[in-house]
Amino acid sequence: MKINPAELRRVNVFRDAADEDLKLFAEKGILRSIEEGEFFFFQGDPAKYFYILLTGRAKLLQTNQTGQQVNLRTLTKWEMFGALGAVREDALYPATAQALEPSTALAIESNFLKEMMKTRPHLNVNLMQLMTGYIMEMQERYREMATERVERRIALTVLRLAGQIGRRLEGAEMMVELPLSRQDLAETSGTTIFTVSRVLADWERRGLVDAGRERVVIRNPHGLVQISEGLDK
């Protein structure tokens, strides 16, 4: 596979980069293709590279000592991840990056980005934008986790993921498809696969979603918003 440097401008952090700079990043980068379930890096590894997802889907997750997983973020094409090493000295990845399907990413040395940032203020600004976005999302999710009941948390998770990785279904107007298993949803909303299954079954009975194997189709987003705000029943 060959990368077209100009395409890299679709990466948010590179939005304002010059063509020559994009070329530099493309040349400096190493292509890494991995299978579904494989890992780009593990929590605790030295954060020597940052990544840009080129094909496939992946997720960032943390594991506690008993092996329970939590999904921090689901990644799609052109998303940058693992970029902390470009900011902090001797940083370790704070999360693990695992492919959800066969995926390819461009791996670039963190130090290179760090060097480029010294003379390209826009890289700074845009990276800061990405970071503050993460902060706001994590704060919000933390609050939800601490204060909301499961059904509402699952609704909030599904709606958030719809915005981030949902695929608009052709033909139908407002329908969005999420290619995620019950397990993925459970790990993202902080509950169990059983509870997610029961809640989705209920929503399906009420006509809010279509729940399939490793797939959820949102038929009535507004209904989910109502649930997420506690305005139903």
Q: Which residues bind DNA (CB under 7 A)?
A: 149-151, 181-183, 190-198, 200-201, 211-215
Contact status, residue 103 vs residue 57, Cβ threshold 8 Å: yes
In whole angstroms, give the CA distance from residue 162 to residue 152. Answer: 15
Site for a copy of itself in 1-20 (CB under 8 A): none
Contact status, residue 31 vs residue 104, Cβ threshold 8 Å: yes
Shortest reach from residue 96's CB to DNA, in Å: 18
Contact status, residue 68 vs residue 118, Cβ threshold 8 Å: no
- Say which entry of DNA, a copy of itself, none residue 233 contacts (CB below 5 to 8 A, set by partner kind): none
Can you read off the two tokens belonging to residue 49?
């590279």
- Say which entry of a copy of itself, DNA, none residue 57 contacts (CB below 5 to 8 A, set by partner kind): none
Task: Kindly indicate which of the ranges 27-35, 130-138, 160-168, 210-218 contains the residues binding a copy of itself, using the contact rule CB under 8 A.
Answer: 130-138
Name which position in 128, 172, 174, 201 contacts a copy of itself (CB under 8 A).
Answer: 128
Buried b (16+ CB within 10 A) or exposed e, 41-76: beeebebebbbbbbebbbbbbeeeeeeebebbbbbe
Contact status, residue 196 vs residue 203, Cβ threshold 8 Å: no
In whole angstroms, give the CA distance from residue 148 to residue 140. Answer: 11
Task: Kindly indicate which of the ranges 80-88, 157-165, 176-184, 214-222 contains the residues binding a copy of itself, using the contact rule CB under 8 A.
Answer: 80-88
- Say which entry of DNA, a copy of itself, none residue 143 contacts (CB below 5 to 8 A, set by partner kind): a copy of itself
In whole angstroms, give the CA distance from residue 151 to residue 233. Answer: 12
Shortest reach from residue 160's CB to DNA, in Å: 18
Shortest reach from residue 191's CB to DNA, in Å: 4
Name which position in 36, 101, 115, 140 contacts a copy of itself (CB under 8 A).
Answer: 140
Largest separation between any pair of C-alpha atoms in the chain: 57
String of contacts with a copy of itself for each residue 33-62, x by CB under 8 A: -----------------------------x
Shortest reach from residue 220's CB to a copy of itself, in Å: 21
Name which position in 6, 115, 142, 214 contacts a copy of itself (CB under 8 A).
Answer: 142
Q: CB under 8 Å to 124, separation ≥6 — which residues?
A: 117
Residue 58, amino acid: A
Shortest reach from residue 9's CB to a copy of itself, in Å: 20
For residue 66, the Cα-to-chain-centroid distance in whole angstroms is: 24
Give the binding site for a copy of itself (CB under 8 A).
Answer: 62, 64-66, 68, 70, 72, 84, 87-88, 91, 94-95, 117-118, 121, 124-125, 127-129, 131-132, 134-136, 138-148, 190, 229-230
